[in-house]
Amino acid sequence: MPDKSSHLDRILGRIEDLDTDNLTTLVRRLVRERTLLETVFNTIQEGMLVVDRTGRIEYANAAAGKLLGLKEADLGQVVLWKVVPDLSEVLDFDKGIEPTMLPASTRELEITYPEPRFIRLYVVPFEAEERELRFAIILTDITEEKSSTEERIANERLSSIFDLAAGVAHELGNPLNSINIHLQLMERQLKRLGKDPAAEKLASSLKACTNEVQRLDGIITHFLQAIRPQPPDLREVDLLDILDEVINMQAPELENLKVHVDVELSGTLPPVMGDPEQLKQVFFNIVKNAMEAMDTGGDLRITARTNDDFVTMLFADTGVGISQQEISRVFQPYYTSKESGHGLGMMVVQRIMRDHGGQIGIDSQPGRGTVISLRFPQRHRRMRMLEST
């Protein structure tokens, strides 16, 4: 059989015979090879770990350190699932199993430290010196992959439902228009009867029917806007000008509900690329939700902040708040906590923000209020995003 040992192995095999010069050369060579390997491993995007059978971390490249929040001082000192408790259930190295019986395996899991991420682990057992068992673990961040897959599945599901429902909504619009016309004719006839008690009673019933028809028409209109959104007509806009217009439009209702609006800014906001009409809809829906959450009396505090790439607007109300269990449902179609709500407003907001390259977030506590955050890419960043698509 040919000798598979390397030149370095042969040298190490007779290291006791080396003189000082050869030993110095060997050490320098080992240092160079170690530095080269570390450089290579640290340029790899996937995380790489080596742990012993107890889970003690013996090696971690730069990507693994960043992904799991490991520090240099952790190496050789801490157990992996003490640092990242989420791994304890999926990496259970049973000491009773022989190394030859442990196959390579792949697992996916969600971790919460140092930040919520989805990762894929490829675990390979191997024997080190003196048959000591070690595990090489390759970590791949699949958060974006997971999110895009889930979003695609959700979009496909919604698309099939919306295609069917859009036809139904359109067909409902025709009889509603006819009913509304006949109700208007009936209203004119009743006005001719004057102050007759029977006519006044009929007028009250007629008004209730008219209001319900208008409410149904509003539901259909919002529904069609949600499932057939128009591409945004992007232009350079001032978010504060749009916000002022919306607040002024809603001023009578805000005053009637005794809701105080406080807009706090530190300087001017840089312009963003947006569709003014669609952004009006975003602000209108959020302020409307805040008003309804506070019912009568309360404060709506609107603040804004910027960095090199984004403009972030925060809408903080003092309303009833939303439980953690319900927050995940806010953007689902037809979810609403209000008796008269259609449950499409926040879904429309989310879709418009996505079309603008932005993001929406919700932070809420029952009894303390809700904070809605809108993050818009600044003009230069939005233009780069458009150029890259």
Fill in the DSSP letter of residue 46: S
Q: Are 124 and 135 in contact (CB under 8 A)?
A: yes
For residue range 40-84, list pLDDT tens digits in order: 777 888 899 998 888 888 989 988 888 888 888 888 888 887 777
Fold category of 146-227 in CATH:
Helix Hairpins (1.10.287)
**Whether pLDDT at 281 is above 80:** yes
Q: Are 316 and 300 in contact (CB under 8 A)?
A: yes
For residue range 107-144, list pLDDT tens digits in order: 777 777 777 788 888 888 887 766 778 888 889 998 88
User: CATH 3.30.450.20 spans which residues of the chain?
Assistant: 44-141
Label residue 316 by pLDDT band (50, 70, 90).
very high
Label residue 173 by pLDDT band (50, 70, 90).
confident
Choose among 352, 313, 350: nearest CA to 232.
352
What percent of the chain has a predicted confidence (pLDDT) above 70? Answer: 75
The CATH architecture one would assign to domain 44-141 is 2-Layer Sandwich (3.30)
The winner for highest mean pLDDT among 4-8, 26-30, 363-367 is 363-367
pTM for the complete prediction?
A: 0.48
pLDDT at 279: 92
pLDDT at 199: 76
Min mean pLDDT across 69-78, 103-112, 150-159, 355-364 is at 150-159
Which helix (H) or strand (E) segment holds residue 48: the answer is strand 47-52
Q: What is the CATH number of domain 235-388?
A: 3.30.565.10
Cα separation values, 346 from 43, 81, 146, 300, 352, Å: 42, 39, 23, 18, 10
Fill in the DSSP letter of residue 318: -
Distance of CA 310 to the CA centre of its chain: 16
For residue range 185-221, list pLDDT tens digits in order: 888 888 877 777 777 788 888 888 888 888 777 767 7
pLDDT at 236: 92
**Whether pLDDT at 243 is above 90:** yes
Residues 202, 204, 205, CA angle at the centre, nearest 5°?
Answer: 65
User: CATH 3.30.565.10 spans which residues of the chain?
Assistant: 235-388
What percent of the chain has a predicted confidence (pLDDT) above 90? Answer: 11
Choose among 29, 36, 35, 34: nearest CA to 12.
29
The winner for highest mean pLDDT among 178-192, 245-259, 334-348 is 245-259
pLDDT at 283: 93
Widest distance between CA atoms in the chain = 122
Label residue 163 by pLDDT band (50, 70, 90).
low
User: CATH 1.10.287 spans which residues of the chain?
Assistant: 146-227
Residues 144, 148, 152, CA angle at the centre, nearest 5°?
Answer: 175
Q: Enter the tokens of residue 322.
A: 């939303």
Average pLDDT, the chain: 78
pLDDT at 103: 58
CA–CA gap between residue 250 and residue 287 (Å, rounded): 8
**Whether pLDDT at 248 is above 80:** yes
The winner for highest mean pLDDT among 136-150, 174-188, 223-237, 298-312 is 298-312
Fill in the DSSP letter of residue 215: H
What residues have CB less than 8 Å from 82, skipping those under 6 apart? 55
Label residue 314 by pLDDT band (50, 70, 90).
very high
Cα separation values, 126 from 53, 83, 132, 213, 379, Å: 11, 23, 8, 72, 52
Q: Are 139 and 91 in contact (CB under 8 A)?
A: no
Q: Is pLDDT larger for residue 288 or for residue 113? A: 288
Min mean pLDDT across 12-26, 60-74, 121-135, 355-369 is at 12-26
pLDDT at 376: 92
